[in-house]
Amino acid sequence: MQITPASRIYVAGHRGLVGSAVVRTLQQRGYTHLVLRTHNELDLTDQSDVRRFFEAERPDAVIMAAARVGGIHANNSRPAWFIRDNLLIQGNVIDAAHRSGVGKFVFLGSSCVYPKLSPQPIKEDYLLTGPLEPTNEWYAIAKIAGLKMCQAYRREFGFNAISLMPTNLYGPGDNFDLQNSHVLPALIRRFHEAKVRGDESVTVWGTGTPRREFLHVDDLADAVLYLLHSYDAEPIVNIGWGQDVTIRELAELVLSAIGYSGRLIFDSTKPDGTPRKLLDVTRQTNLGWKPRITLKDGIEQTYAWFKEHSDDARL
Ligand SMILES: NC(=O)c1ccc[n+]([C@@H]2O[C@H](COP(=O)([O-])OP(=O)(O)OC[C@H]3O[C@@H](n4cnc5c(N)ncnc54)[C@H](OP(=O)(O)O)[C@@H]3O)[C@@H](O)[C@H]2O)c1
């Protein structure tokens, strides 16, 4: 099925970091038939509600950006919540989308599906070659089940589902709740608050030496639309820069974007986590897509958004 700006596109999770960026990008490009439901309007863990919704709306394409998402603390403290909700949400949506004749389905996984000790950079082929990072294995197992379900439905029913594995994302609409957030939004919030209070220093956990990769969510949305139109195959595709920075470099970029002159202290008694997590983006590059928003520009733009949305950001 050809997807055009007149197609009916359901963006699941359209209020989240990824979903809101996908909606923004679709709207900017003239897509006028978006199908959207908030979590309150449609709980995707409820199978009969999800089936009824798909039978009534019959979207042409689905971007699957609804998930139970969180940082290490949330994953560690709510394992049942993470595995249950994600298995139910994606199982219900993939199955109902297939039953109602959806022509294209884009599933979003994550770089955390790969084994903890993967060689770097991480190729798609490393999936299921070793043990997962124990702190988020509940989430990762659910995501692996989701991408495998897409592959199984493609094989058995010819369901046109593709699965993308983005690296760490950031941008407008991110979660800045310190209990639940990822490293970049957490640094933005903590450094901003230190600046407002006039603190002399800020402390970052660990040695600052682990390396991480970050992709602006508007770049991911661009990749989603690009592959929605141009990629129809079973293999999963990593989405990222294929380049990383140390946590110290990241913290310095955040300090400079915020304009905070306090001292940066690294608390090396706290755990560092995996030394490096970088995606191999050869497949993405061969498919003809690359990101555009540099980390410096992206952090400045995200900080501007955070300040403008102090009353409605997820804090
Ligand atoms: N953020 C990252 O760094 C990152 C990196 C790689 C991949 N991804 C992938 O991108 C996808 C989206 O992540 P995100 O960062 O955009 O997460 P997010 O900001 O937390 O958004 C997830 C959305 O899903 C909705 N949702 C959760 N449970 C639901 C339910 N039972 N019924 C209906 N809606 C529900 C949430 O609504 P409520 O808030 O109202 O519950 C929220 O709008 C995930 O599959 C994730 O694996 C994210």
Q: Which tens digits make up the pLDDT trace of 209-266?
A: 999 999 999 999 999 999 999 999 999 999 999 999 999 999 999 999 999 999 999 9
Ligand 1 atom with minimal separation from the 88 CA? 31
Residue 277 near residue 213, CB atoms below 8 Å: yes
Which residues have CB under 8 Å from 311's CB, separation 6+? none
Q: With 90 as the cut, is the pLDDT of residue 313 above it?
A: no
3-state secondary structure of 205: strand
How far is the centre of ligand 1, averaged over its atoms, from the C-alpha of 200 (Å)? 35
Q: With 80 as the cut, is the pLDDT of residue 72 above it?
A: no
pTM of the entire structure?
A: 0.96
| Residue with more model confidence, 76 or 156 | 156
Whose alpha carbon is nearest atom 2 of ligand 1?
169
> So what's the pLDDT on residue 106?
98
Confidence of residue 136 (pLDDT cuts 50, 70, 90): confident
Closest CA to 66 of 284, 159, 53, 309: 53
Closest CA to 219 of 181, 281, 166, 288: 166
| Residue with more model confidence, 275 or 188 | 188
Single-letter amino acid code for the residue at 104: K
How far is the centre of ligand 1, averaged over its atoms, from the C-alpha of 68 (Å)? 5
| Residues labelled catalytic | 139
Confidence of residue 273 (pLDDT cuts 50, 70, 90): confident
Residues lining ligand 1, judged by CB closer than 6 Å?
13, 15-19, 39, 43-45, 65-69, 85, 89, 108, 110, 166, 168-169, 175, 182
| Helical pair 183-197 and 295-308, crossing angle rounded to 10 deg | 60
Quick: pLDDT tens for 32-54.
999 999 999 999 999 999 999 99
Which residues have CB under 8 Å from 99's CB, separation 6+? 51, 54, 55
CA dihedral 94, 65, 247, 125 (to 10 degrees): 30
> So what's the pLDDT on residue 102?
98
How far is the centre of ligand 1, averaged over its atoms, from the C-alpha of 13 (Å)? 6
The number of helices, as runs of H, and strands, as runs of E, in the chain is: 10, 13
How is residue 55 written in tokens?
């039978």
Q: Percentage of residues in the chain with pLDDT exceeding 90?
A: 88
Neighbouring-strand partners of residue 51: none
How far is the centre of ligand 1, averaged over its atoms, from the C-alpha of 166 (Å)? 13
